[in-house]
Amino acid sequence: MQSIAVLIALLTVADAVTDWTCVWSERRRLHYLTKPLVMVGLMGLTLLLSDGETATWWLVVALFFGMLGDISMIGSSPRRFLGGVALFFVGHLAYAAAFLALGLDAPGWSWAGVAVALVLGIPMGRVLRGARLMGGRPMMAALAAYSLVIATMLVLGWLTGSVWIAAGALVFVVSDTLIGLNLAEHGNEPPRLTNVEIMVTYHVGQALITAGVLLALA
């Protein structure tokens, strides 16, 4: 079983690197395939290396909705972008449930997650203005709700006391912050979702969270 897990991990890493290369070289069609496959690999590893704990199933749900969000955001229409936001919203709720299932040890350093969430929320005024230009009040309301749920995910991730989960949650939020800043700059059109830094932080963040949950359950 360990050899299979190593193989899946290597294939997932190779797929992620391929995806980043596709983004760099603007090979969009291949990117639309390789991006969600990273989530498939992480789900496979989670199911293979766990014993069916509650936190594990919530993690699989989070990764599954992340994969659906990746697929929804293929293309450039505001409607597909909004659909992706809704799917990732559910995914972050599932991450939060996984962290609660693990238990919140809340060591002293973990409370810094609240400050980190507040700092990363500073650009939200600009992001919401861009969202309103892009899709009106419904888009603005959707991103406001999304920002609250991802901030909650970040804080709970830190409160687990797992350095891996804390790092993953932070990197994931950085990825979404980059998308938000892109939206603030180009509010009259869907944000570019294929910048290399967005993809790298997105995949690394989810991989670190997955590793953190599995290590906490080991």
Summary mean pLDDT of the chain: 89
Q: In this predicted structure, what is the pLDDT of residue 187? A: 53
How many Cβ atoms are within 10 Å of 164's Cβ, its own excluded?
A: 19
Residue type, 83: G
Q: What is the pLDDT of residue 64?
A: 98
pLDDT tens, residue by residue, 20-56: 999 888 888 898 899 999 999 999 999 999 888 999 9
Instruction: Give pTM, 2 decimals.
Output: 0.91
Q: What is the pLDDT of residue 25?
A: 86
